[in-house]
Structure 1
Amino acid sequence: MKMPNLRAALGASLIAPLTALPAAAQTTAAEIFGELPIIGQPSTGGIGFQPAATSLARDIHWLDGLLLVMITIIVLFVTGLIAWVIVKYNRRSNDDPAQFTHNSPLEVTWTLVPILILVSIGAFSLPVLFDQQRIPEGDVVVKVSGFQWAWEYEYPEEDISFQSYMIGADTGNMLTEDSRAQLIAAGYTEDQFRLATDTSVVVPVGKTIVMQVTGLDVIHSWTIPSFGVKQDGIPGRLAQLWFEAEEEGIYFGQCSELCGIAHAFMPITVKVVSEEAYAQWLEAVKAGELETW
């Protein structure tokens, strides 16, 4: 009478490891990516740029600094000139003003100087613009389609695609206990609420990434401040941008084109990882082992 029970126990002991194999084979995003620092995100009360993670962003920051210096000099000069005229040529100091209709040297000066200033601005800014618009051959190509109100990503060379929603979108865009639990499970904190998404764009560090941007319903705009890139996604058109991230980490962005009632809840998450982690991620996604990353 005990023999059948013994056989059943032996059978169960042999089957148990086999049934446990699929669970053991599952991979988590944390195991693949490790601890990625959050580099590109807004800061409360911040008035400056987010850290530059690409050459494009560094050029933009440098150009902004140059223009700030030029405009500051102009403002100080004009303010000083106005103050000098007020003091020297007010009615008490100069009760008998000179009468004249023109001053050729002065007119030539205030025509040529602004022209030189504008030419200088153009000489420095156009190369920065051209660098953004010259799309190189991409090591990784990603097609991004904006829709109300989330993003769809496709890696055509890898035959994978997925959608990306804000964590908390299913809770009415409110920070509830459920959305807080989702943030923690994904490795984020409350500070990343309305920034973090359930899935992310994953790209290898130091590689040229080309994003093909379009819209599926209305105009959206794919923007990552730390990369110095912004491109409108227009329905029926396919635009492009490129970047080469220089540091591993997590970078956040937002839709930057008013696209409807939930426009504010279309964040973007990009994870820049090592080439090894990128290859592991591709393999895990193709095998269906990851639901969120």
Structure 2
Amino acid sequence: MKKILASAGAAAAFFATAAAYAAQPTPWQTGFQPAATGIMEQIAWFEQYTLWFIVPITLLVLVLLLYCILRFRAAANPVPSRTSHNTLIEVIWTVGPVVALLFIAVPSFQLLTAQYSPAEEAKVTVKATGNQWNWDYEYQTEEPFSFNSAMLADADRAAEGKEDLAVYPRLLAVDNEIVVPVDTMVRVLVTASDVIHAFAMPAFGVKTDAVPGRINEIWFKAKKEGLYYGQCSELCGKDHAFMPIAVRVVSDKQYEAWAAQAKTDLSGANKALMAEIESTAKVAAAGN
């Protein structure tokens, strides 16, 4: 019995590790992806907070409509009222929405302020340039390096070591992910080379247009290591739906090793990083 429980615990730990390893959309998903940054946690909270206003207001309007339909229909009210106004009702439907809007506006402005006011200076800066239909990434370090990232073709999965569809899902996996360290402020400078694109990463709570000739700035600080997926979110042509974004969040040590090798051997750096992550995940699963 103990062996069965131990095996079940190990399996649960392994699948929990795998789940954290690849944050991505799920079938029939109606809510947000799990938050990986403080900003996304605030966005998720604000969404739930506004529902406390939206749901009651929607139900109230529905009830009022049904009441009016039934109470003032021709059969039940053959002689319609000639009342032109009601001061109390006018005061209520003026003051009520104003109060509700104030309760929504204050946390909304606080969230907007937090989104555009990073708490610290960025330690990593990446320039993302949208193309039809892929992304160019440039790491602006002391020795800058850049690479292209495009949707992973099925025929290339074996060569890239990305055959696991649970981790590298079809239409979302890319050949070269952005790699950033965990708990580190990252600045992303977003632009485009041809038409308007949009850089969106749901788990991070960031989204901004990529406009030719203009640079927009976003930032994030990922709290959890893992592989996160986003997509271009601005209609940009026939292959708009095939322009994914992937960000791999790793430890400081793993990031430094990857960045040092990626400057001269990007493919080798990616494979070495993937091998280390998979090895760590298996050790963690075995330990539990």
By the TM > 0.5 criterion, same fold? yes
Shift of 1:92: 4.9
- Given the superposition, is the C-alpha separation of residues 287 and 92 from structure 1 closer, same or farther in structure 2, using an over 3 Å criterion? closer
Q: Map 1:40-189 onto structure 2 (within 5 A).
A: 40-135=23-118, 136-158=120-142, 159-168=144-153, 175=154, 178-182=155-159, 185-186=161-162, 188-189=164-165
1:27-54: CA deviation from partner (whole Å, max 9, x where unpaired): xxxxxxx989433211112111111101
Match of 1:218 in 2: 195
Structure 2: tracts of 5 or more residues without a match: 1-16, 271-288
State yes or no: 1:271 paired with 2:228: no
Which amino acid is the alignment partner of residue 113 of structure 1? G
Q: Secondary structure at the match of 1:247?
A: coil
Inter-CA distance 289–116: structure 2 relative to 1 (3 Å threshold): closer
Tell me, what secondary structure is at the counterpart of 2:218? Answer: strand
| Aligned residue identity for 2:176 | T
- Measure, in 2, the Cα distance between the counterparts of 1:125 and 1:45: 28
C-alpha RMSD of the superposition? 2.2
1:202 Cα deviation from its structure 2 partner: 0.4
Match of 2:216 among 234, 239, 243: 239
How high is the TM-score relative to the length of structure 1?
0.79
In 2, are the aligned partners of 1:148 and 1:217 still within 8 Å (CA)?
A: yes
> CA 1:242–1:289 in structure 2 vs 1: closer, same or farther (change >3 Å)?
closer
Percent identity of the aligned residues? 39
C-alpha displacement of 1:237: 0.6
Structure 1 residues 180 and 187, CA gap change in structure 2 (3 angstroms): closer
Question: Is the counterpart of residue 255 in structure 1 residue 240 in structure 2?
Answer: no
CA distance in 2, matches of 1:282, 1:226: 23
- For 1:64 and 1:198, the matched residues in 2 are separated by 34
2:261, 2:268 within 8 Å by CA — same for their partners in 1?
Answer: no
Cα deviation 1:97-154 (Å, max 9, x = unaligned): 4322111121121112112222222112121122112245201111111111111111
Cα-to-partner distance string for 1:185-221 (whole Å, 9 max, x where unaligned): 1363276111111111000000111100001111111
- Give the TM-score taking structure 2 as reference length: 0.80
In 2, Cα distance between equivalents of 1:76 and 1:251:
37
Distance 1:291 1:162, change over 3 A: farther
Partners of 2:109 and 2:232 in 1: CA distance: 25
Q: 1:121 to 1:240 in 2, by over 3 A?
A: same
